[in-house]
Structure 1
Amino acid sequence: MALIAYDEADAAAFEATRHLGDDALGAWREAITRYLDPQPGMCLLDLGCGTGSWSQAFRTWWPATDVLAVEPSAAMRERALFEPVLCGDAADIPAEDESIDAVWVSTVIHHVPDLAAAAREIRRVLKPGGPVLIRSAFPGRHEGITLCRFWPEVITALNDRYPTVAAVEAAFAASGFTTAGLEPVAQVSASSLQEAATGLRREAHTLLQLISDDAYAQGVERLHAAARTATGPSIDVLDLLVLR
């Protein structure tokens, strides 16, 4: 099972606060295209697409490509800004063998209960040589994540509950994948720390749901105190792990 339920409350919070702006999306587009050259007729799989913001971005960036959006949570599918979103998950992808040119997995890999099974299923649907692009926070690589700055308990949750880069690589290696790249990508998550603090919704962040209520409340106080004097945008750094 996923680390959180992604029920109606989670989906509503995600919809309200987790859609990135153009600056953040631009940084990720640049990173993605270092490993993928989208061409007309290609099919990109957005696996665990949530409310479909990445699928919508792909359709905008590369209108001549097809996007297959797949999401297991009914609450997320109901709020999707992209159509259609199909029901499925990493172990049961609604696609034919070798029909997908690239797989995008954004802030999802920690919800996959069986990485080896997911790797086998992705290998089934992916064309030979196609990339699996995994956007995630990974244990031991948290220095640029804002949540870890104000909620140190999140670091423990990340280390205890999220798969390491090595664990993902090992699971996918069993299905013939090798690592093509691993790089940090800096994104503008909010125009200011004040905006980030004002718009914070605990239900939108898996890591915040994995810590205690007291730890969460103390971190909120630290965040709002810092936001009163902070200048400039709020930057987060996540990793892009690419397997082929």
Structure 2
Amino acid sequence: MGLLDYDARAATAFVAGRHLDEDGLAAWRARIRHHLPLGERAVLLDLGAGTGHWMAAFRRWYPFTVIGVEPSPAMREAAAEPLLTGDAAAIPLAANSVDAVWLSTVVHHIPDRSAAAAESRRVLRPGGRVLIRSAFAGRLERISLFRYFPEAATALDPRYPSAASIAADFGTAGFRTIALEPVPQVTAPTLGGFVEHLDRVAHTPLMLIDDAAYERGLARLRAADPAQPVVDALDLLVLRACTGPPWVA
């Protein structure tokens, strides 16, 4: 996986600046519960688990089993709990062994999304779901980072996949799109706090722009009202594994 390779420095920055608090997670908890009415015997795979932030959240919220898979040694080292080594094209789990797959801000790092879709289909039980939390090309306007760093949106749009392209990749592997919806989140209680913890290496879009564009964005942030909350809307794409072939919903 990778537009970027995460080293120890990036993993540390990710923990400090990208983890949401409970207020930030609240809306996601509600939408995930809506799409994943799973019982205590269910198994969820956090694919591209990073430092395990979402794994920990799922374990707080639900009684089911959560398994994390992460390709980056630095991310696995920074995680609070053990993660399996693997990636989206080579998931180290048996066929028909999980009920849901969760991918959070990771799909743009997957070089072969068709292979990832096929692997997700392999490990999912019939009727299982894939939930993808992401910023998608063409749908960036609700994300604060791009208002302050507009050059990042310009750099990112041709490199990030669109929701339609992801749905098509997964459709070929036997998935049907269930939902595509923006989910508002409190990214930071205040803009001042957001600026204080902002670390460029934790944000792929900021690594895609030059230093001058980054400094202009910082100046815009520092000129804004530091007391305002940072509320963003990332998208949630939900896909369901059909039975088949020939893939029947």
Query: Same-fold call, TM > 0.5?
Result: yes
Note if contact 2:156-2:208 (Cα within 8 Å) is conserved in structure 1.
no
Deviation at 1:158, TM superposition (A): 2.2
> What CA distance in whole angstroms lies between the structure 2 residues aligned with 1:139 and 1:122?
22
Match of 2:25 in 1: 25
Match of 1:15 in 2: 15
Match of 1:242 in 2: 238
1:55-94 aligned within 5 A? 55-62=55-62, 64-81=63-80, 83-94=81-92
> What CA distance in whole angstroms lies between the structure 2 residues aligned with 1:157 and 1:43?
37
> What CA distance in whole angstroms lies between the structure 2 residues aligned with 1:50 and 1:88?
12
> What CA distance in whole angstroms lies between the structure 2 residues aligned with 1:85 and 1:173?
28
Structure 2 letter corresponding to 1:110 = H
1:197 counterpart = 2:195 = yes
Q: What secondary structure sits across from 2:198 in the alignment?
A: coil
Q: What secondary structure sits across from 1:50 in the alignment?
A: coil
Task: State TM-score, norm by structure 2.
Answer: 0.94
Note if contact 1:140-1:159 (Cα within 8 Å) is conserved in structure 2.
yes
Of 94, 97, 117, the residue aligned with 2:95 is 97
Superimposed CA distance per residue, residues 56-90 of structure 1 (whole angstroms, 9 cap, x where no aligned partner): 0111111x210010000000000102x22110100
Task: State TM-score, norm by structure 1.
Answer: 0.96
Q: What secondary structure sits across from 1:113 in the alignment?
A: coil
Q: What secondary structure sits across from 1:166 in the alignment?
A: helix
Structure 1 letter corresponding to 2:25 = L
Structure 2, unaligned runs of 5 or more: 241-249
Note if contact 1:13-1:201 (Cα within 8 Å) is conserved in structure 2.
yes
> What CA distance in whole angstroms lies between the structure 1 residues aligned with 2:226 and 2:74?
35
Query: Where has structure 1 moved over 4 Å in runs of 4 or more?
Result: none
Match of 1:112 in 2: 110
> What CA distance in whole angstroms lies between the structure 1 residues aligned with 2:151 and 2:174?
36
Report how many residues are paired: 240
Structure 2 letter corresponding to 1:99 = S
Match of 1:34 in 2: 34
Deviation at 1:165, TM superposition (A): 0.7
1:182-193 aligned within 5 A? 182-193=180-191
> What CA distance in whole angstroms lies between the structure 1 residues aligned with 2:149 and 2:133?
21
Match of 2:247 in 1: none
Deviation at 1:33, TM superposition (A): 1.2
1:140 counterpart = 2:156 = no
Q: Pairwise CA RMSD of aligned residues?
A: 0.9
> What CA distance in whole angstroms lies between the structure 1 residues aligned with 2:155 and 2:90?
27
> What CA distance in whole angstroms lies between the structure 1 residues aligned with 2:228 and 2:217?
20
Match of 2:204 in 1: 206
Q: What secondary structure sits across from 1:20 in the alignment?
A: coil
> What CA distance in whole angstroms lies between the structure 2 residues aligned with 1:169 and 1:29?
23
> What CA distance in whole angstroms lies between the structure 2 residues aligned with 1:168 and 1:222?
33
Deviation at 1:230, TM superposition (A): 4.5
Q: What secondary structure sits across from 2:140 in the alignment?
A: coil
Structure 1, unaligned runs of 5 or more: none
Q: What secondary structure sits across from 2:98 in the alignment?
A: coil
> What CA distance in whole angstroms lies between the structure 2 residues aligned with 1:204 and 1:230?
21
Structure 2 letter corresponding to 1:221 = A
Q: What secondary structure sits across from 1:160 in the alignment?
A: coil
Q: What secondary structure sits across from 1:163 in the alignment?
A: coil
Note if contact 1:110-1:163 (Cα within 8 Å) is conserved in structure 2.
yes
> What CA distance in whole angstroms lies between the structure 1 residues aligned with 2:60 and 2:227?
32
1:41-52 aligned within 5 A? 41-52=41-52
Superimposed CA distance per residue, residues 5-47 of structure 1 (whole angstroms, 9 cap, x where no aligned partner): 1011111100111110101111101011111112111100000
* More strand, by proportion: 2
1:169-184 aligned within 5 A? 169-184=167-182
